[in-house]
Amino acid sequence: MFNALRLLGCTAVLAFVQGCAMLPPHIARDDTAAIPASASEELGRIAAQSVPAGKGSGFRPLPFANYAMDARLTIVRHAQKSLDVQYYLLQNDVTGHKLVRAVRDAAVRGVRVRLLVDDLYTADSDQMLLALAAYPNVEVRLFNPFPSGRSFFLTRWIFAAGDFSRINHRMHNKMLIADGAFAVAGGRNIADEYFFSSKGGNFVDFDLFIAGDAIPRLAAIFDTYWNSPRIYPLHAVTTSRKEPQALRDEFEQLTADSIPAYPDLPADRPDLLGYRPLSGDIQRPPLKLLYGRIDAFADNPEKVSGRAELGNDETTVTARVGKAIAQAKAEVVIGSPYFIPGKPGLDGMQRALDNDVRVEVITNSLASNDEPFASAAYGRYRVQMLKMGVELFEIDSTQLRNDSLISAALNSSIGRSHSKLIVFDRQTTFVGSMNMDLRSSRLNTELGMLVDSPELAEDVLTLAGRLRSLGSYRLRLRQPGDHLQWVGTVNGAEKVYETDPEVDFGTRLQLWLLFPFISESLL
């Protein structure tokens, strides 16, 4: 999610600085297409064995960070023909190094690699991407790039000051496809904090491992982005004076720190839901999967043009999800790290409640949120939602330590959620990159999947129930009146808080000074 404090600082600069750099209007790029799965490749054979005819798509949930990384590395390591990789954030850290090193190894053995990254956070990774692109079979492209000042986040914005309306739109999609046979898609970016490897804060998150009928659709979505005029080859916006071999040597040295990271999981160690690591499972197909129909969809890259900024674009991922909420019959359980419903969201929940549909929302508390301005914007709606009948839960980093599965991995870091999940009527589950906020609905592009599977819905609800009971506050209104209360658990006993719990003075001061000047549409 866009860091609102940085945005505020950049907006102030824009008031005084006129942009002086523009992207070149015409860039030569070759349109290419996804390579479909084939039984002549290992992953194609395993996918065919694992998803019998007539089963639609096969999938398994990846709620745990080490299993989610294991799944990515496994399909990258076994790829023989193609890797299509698309991420909002591919960080220049140990986690990023681990993935790109595996991708480099695939390219060296002849695999075609198409890597597509949003350009917002590449100031720290440009050199890593240039070094990766120096290998044969690798092409790197950037979504909606900054034209100048690329070495620093601030200078990028300064030199693109006259083009703010364009660069304020970002590609938030996240997926990886190997050999047209398997994919991993969902909420995780590629950075330490999404795989419990950060010392500062770590995210509970969720992906799906996918095979079967959904893969060609996901591949077509990737192709739409890859061949879009909003995408620029990396070399068209930044270059290096170093020779290719020097860049490859630099890559080897840069990513060497990833070698001991993410060791292979014991092959027979199942996760909480009973799934073994893919690295072990892939040695003995067919894979253990759930089956059902996956409707995969994404925003058009032309969302960059501002076509959705008024909130009336019915083709967006958010609009599709809103329709699914309106069609629910009994229950909607929403998990979103940044939950800013706005009037459209309130109206949709009210319609559901009027039809006797139970609505539950799980989001981050102010103290646990890495985006305090987004949390403050959500705070404007809490009383109204509770009065409507919405059940609200806020994830608390301190209470997350009550969960034995999470506490050891957190160490001294802050725990928070990044999962984007919605379960409808215990039957259909939304999995994707979309947050329930105005930035996702109107500015950023998103990827979504509606999965028709009561088994997956039950798995997700099991995880949500664990998170709710062990790591969250339950919100309520003190009667009589509209005063919010947070009900949590401390040492096994219930404790009631009268203000947002655990919020430090610095956060409160930041909100008091700056939040009144930030538009909700930017969050």
Render pLDDT for 446-479 as a digit per residue (tens, 0 to 9). Answer: 999 999 999 999 999 999 999 898 889 999 999 8
- The answer on 385 and 241 residing in a single domain is no
Q: What is the per-residue pLDDT across 357-399, written as a single tens digit (0 to 9) for each?
A: 999 999 999 999 999 999 999 999 999 999 999 999 999 988 8
Say what the pLDDT of residue 21 is.
63
Q: What is the pLDDT of residue 163?
A: 86
Q: Decide if 23 is inside a domain.
A: no
Q: Both 262 and 351 in a single domain?
A: no
- Residue 231 CA to residue 442 CA, distance in Å, equals 19
Same domain, 505 and 438: yes
Residues 102 and 223 in one domain: yes
In degrees and rounded to multiples of 5, residue 295 shows phi and psi of -100, 105
Is the pLDDT confidence value at 480 over 90?
no
User: Could you give the C-alpha distances from 161 to 22, 102, 306, 441, in angstroms and in order?
Assistant: 10, 37, 17, 24
Q: 3-17, 292-306, 467-481 — which is least confidently predicted? A: 3-17
Task: Provide φ and ψ at 46, rounded to 5°.
Answer: -65, -40
Task: HSE, CB side, 13 Å, CA atoms: give it for residue 369.
Answer: 30
pTM score, whole prediction = 0.94
Residue 15 domain-assigned (yes or no): no
Torsion of CA 153, 154, 160, 166, to 10 degrees: 60
Q: Please check whether residue 132 is in contact with residue 103, taking contact to mean a CB–CB distance below 8 angstroms.
A: yes
Reported as a single tens digit per residue, the pLDDT across 123-138 is 999 999 999 999 999 9
12 within a domain of the structure (yes/no): no
Q: Is the pLDDT of residue 19 over 50?
A: no
Residues 227 and 369 in one domain: no
> Is residue 308 assigned to a domain?
no
Instruction: Assess whether 214 and 350 both reside in one domain.
Output: no
For residues 514 and 370, membership in a common domain is answered with yes
Question: Do residue 172 and residue 74 come from a single domain?
Answer: yes
Cα 430 to Cα 327: distance, rounded to the nearest angstrom? 14
Amino acid (1-letter code) at residue 5: L
276 and 321: one domain? no
User: Which residues in 444-461 are b (16+ Cβ under 10 Å) and which e?
Assistant: bbbbbbbbbbeebbbbbb
278: tokens are: 């893919």
With respect to residue 292, please indicate whether it lies within any of the assigned structural domains.
no
Placement of tokens 């809103």 in the chain = 322
How much of the chain, in percent, has pLDDT values that exceed 90? 75
CA distances 167 to 8, 49, 306, 406, Å, are: 15, 44, 11, 37
Kindly report the CATH number assigned to the domain that includes residue 434: 3.30.870.10
Count of domains forming the chain:
2
Same domain, 55 and 196: yes
Sign of the dihedral defined by the CA atoms of residues 156, 188, 183, 65, in that order: positive
> In the numeric block, which tokens belong to residue 486?
């947070």
Both 239 and 93 in one domain: the answer is: yes
Encoding tokens for residue 74? 């496994």
Residue 337 shares a structural domain with residue 277: no
Q: How confident is the model over 232-238, as a mean pLDDT?
A: 94
Domain closes at, from 237, 260, 281: 281
Question: CB count, 10 Å around CB of 28?
Answer: 6
Contact assessment for residue 152 and residue 416, using Cβ atoms and an 8 Å cutoff? no
When computed from its CA atoms, the radius of gyration of the chain, rounded to whole angstroms, is 22
Alpha-carbon span 402 to 408, nearest angstrom: 10
- 401, with CB counted inside 10 A (0-12, 13-18, 19+), is middle
Q: Which of 261, 281, 301 is the last residue of a domain?
A: 281
Report yes or no on 295 lying in a domain. no
**Within-domain flag for 88:** yes
What's the whole-number mean pLDDT along residues 186-198?
Answer: 96
Looking at 281, 303, 338, the residue that finishes a domain is 281
**Residues spanned by the domain of 256:** 33-281
Backbone angles phi, psi at 433, to 5 degrees: -105, -5
Give the pair of three-digit tokens for residue 291. Answer: 């089956």
**Is residue 291 included in any domain, yes or no?**
no
Q: How far apart are CA 270 and CA 197, in angstroms?
A: 21
